[in-house]
Amino acid sequence: MKPSKNQQRGYLAFFLPCFILLLIFSLYALFGVFGLSFNQIDLKYPLSHGFTIQNYKNLFLDHRFWNAILISFKWLLVTTSGSILIGLGIALFLFRRFRRVENIISVIFIIPAILSRVGVAQAWRLLYRSFGIFNYFSNLVGLGSINFLADPRLAFFSVAFVDIWQWCPLIAFLFLSLLNSIPESHIEEAMIEGANRREIHWFITLPMISNGALAIFFIKFVESLRTFDLIYILTQGGPGSTTETLDLFAFYQGVTIGGKISYAASMSVIMLILSLTVLTFLWRSLWKKLNNA
């Protein structure tokens, strides 16, 4: 049935207000960040100096920027792969082992991910502090005091570990629900053939959840781009700049220390381009797989 003129007008009245609002947001954010990045605007003296690519030239020579890019990549790699591998491991371990208490387990597994990252970071600062429980145990076993957040060799992994702690339970929960959605008959057939737990996972369950796994990877990747809260509370980018990811560096340059908002914008542009490239690629392959299935 073709909608009448009147109906079409109704559809538009429903669609347009929000669409326009979102369009304004995204166009403003996009043009704003690009526009600022090709200018030399300072928050304290907001004067336009006209078009320039000076920011990008400066970026290229700024070794702190390259360091931040490197740390950001390291962060994405470690937290994404860490939480997904551990989460998957936990899910495979739980699968069909604790049917009766699975609901309670699921609820507990969701909790860390929905807590505010600021709160989580403070809780871990409490554990990591020099009079904290971790140091008590490290002294007990003879490792001596450990400066989890101030030791340049350790700080990155201490922070990354908090992120993995926060996300791998949720990921385990998601994987577990994926595994549970596989039809019983597939698994039963394999069992009649005499397959053991490992073989069943390798040949049957894991291939069947690969689409869902890609979706989980996508979610975690996006989440790992939001690093600011956790790192800011735990180390503020330090010691030195060993945990200074791109968004921290950009924020410091643009707002806290310098007010060089244009310079910060140019970094955001780089970050935007890099992350959108990866995510579009991921999304395409996910979409293709889902449509083929």
Among positions 49-108, residues that touch other proteins (CB under 8 A) are: 90, 93-94, 96-99, 105-108
- In whole angstroms, the minimum distance from the beta carbon of 79 to other proteins comes to 15
Residue pair 132/76 in contact by the 8 Å Cβ criterion: no
Sequence-distant (6+) residues with CB within 8 A of 150 are 238, 239
Buried (b) or exposed (e) across 225-234, using 16+ Cβ within 10 A?
A: bebeebbbbb
Buried (b) or exposed (e) across 130-162, using 16+ Cβ within 10 A?
A: eebebbeeeeeeeeeebbbbeeeebbbebbbbb
Residues from 106 through 135 that contact other proteins (CB under 8 A): 106-112, 114-120, 122-127, 129, 131-133
- In whole angstroms, the minimum distance from the beta carbon of 88 to other proteins comes to 14
Binding mask 192-211 for other proteins (x = CB under 8 A): x----x--------------
Tell me whether residue 85 or residue 127 sits nearer to other proteins (CB atom): 127
- In whole angstroms, the minimum distance from the beta carbon of 11 to other proteins comes to 6
The piece of 58-66, 74-82, 150-158, 190-198 that touches other proteins (CB under 8 A) is 190-198
Residue pair 117/229 in contact by the 8 Å Cβ criterion: yes
Among 59, 216, 237, 244, contact with other proteins (rule: CB under 8 A): 216
Q: Which two tokens stand for residue 276?
A: 């959108």
Residue pair 65/267 in contact by the 8 Å Cβ criterion: yes
Tell me whether residue 57 or residue 284 sits nearer to other proteins (CB atom): 284
Tell me whether residue 7 or residue 58 sits nearer to other proteins (CB atom): 7
Residue pair 137/55 in contact by the 8 Å Cβ criterion: no
Position 264 contacts other proteins (CB under 8 A): yes
Residues from 10 through 29 that contact other proteins (CB under 8 A): 10-11, 13-15, 17-19, 21-22, 25-26, 28-29
Tell me the backbone φ, ψ of residue 237, rounded to 5 degrees.
Answer: 95, -15
- Type of residue numbered 56: Y
Q: Please name the residue that has the structure tokens 């429980």.
A: 133
* 3-state secondary structure (DSSP) of residue 76: helix
Question: Angle at which helices 261-292 and 63-94 pack, to 10 degrees?
Answer: 30
- In whole angstroms, the minimum distance from the beta carbon of 205 to other proteins comes to 11
- In whole angstroms, the minimum distance from the beta carbon of 210 to other proteins comes to 12
- In whole angstroms, the minimum distance from the beta carbon of 156 to other proteins comes to 19
**How many chain residues touch other proteins (CB under 8 A)?**
100
Residues from 157 through 186 that contact other proteins (CB under 8 A): 165, 169, 173-174, 177-178
- In whole angstroms, the minimum distance from the beta carbon of 271 to other proteins comes to 5
